Each structure stands twice: as structure tokens, then as C-alpha cells.
Amino acid sequence: MPRKKLHASGSFGSRYGGNVRKRYTKIHSELKSKHLCPRCESPTLKRTSVGIWSCKKCGLTIAGGAYTPSTKIGQVSKRPINEIR
């Protein structure tokens, strides 16, 4: 019997419903994907704790979202600042 390819929600089995498991898989894959450091542009930005991101290469520590270093609301709030510059 061939083995199935499991996602992050594979340990849930058939519990909790399809939408919850899809949402969990999407969030978990975003969390574990490679993120670029804003200072040194290397893909070494990792989450230290909820909302705290640090670069392994240059040591930069920034505050961001819980699952991604930058949130959509943060990007929207930076638009007027970038237009003024």
C-alpha cells in the first residue's frame, strides 16, 4: 500500500473538518517558509516567539505578525509614509 503525502495537518486525521485543516496547513506552511531579512536580504529570518522575528545572519530582531514577519495591515499603513518620502 503506497504511503500518502501528509501536510502539516496530517496528524489530525479526519477530525476537526476540512476547512479547519486547510486553514491550519496554509498558516503552518507560511510560518515555516523562508523569509527575507529586511537588512541583509538573506533568507534566514526565523520566528523567535509570537510576533518576534530574528535574523540568524545579521542578528536583526523585528516585531511582526504572529505567522509572517509583515502583515497586510502593516503594509497598508506604510503606503502613506512611502508616498511622503
What structural domains does the chain harbor? 8-84 (2.20.25.30)
Q: Which residue has the higher pLDDT, 75 or 55?
A: 55
pLDDT of residue 11: 86
Predicted pLDDT of residue 5: 67
Instruction: Say what the pLDDT of residue 1 is.
Output: 64
pLDDT in tens, 45-66: 999 999 999 999 999 999 999 9
pLDDT in tens, 1-32: 666 667 888 888 889 999 999 999 999 999 99
Give the separation between CA 45 and CA 6, rounded to whole angstroms: 25
Q: State whether residue 44 is helix, strand or coil.
A: coil
Length of the chain: 85
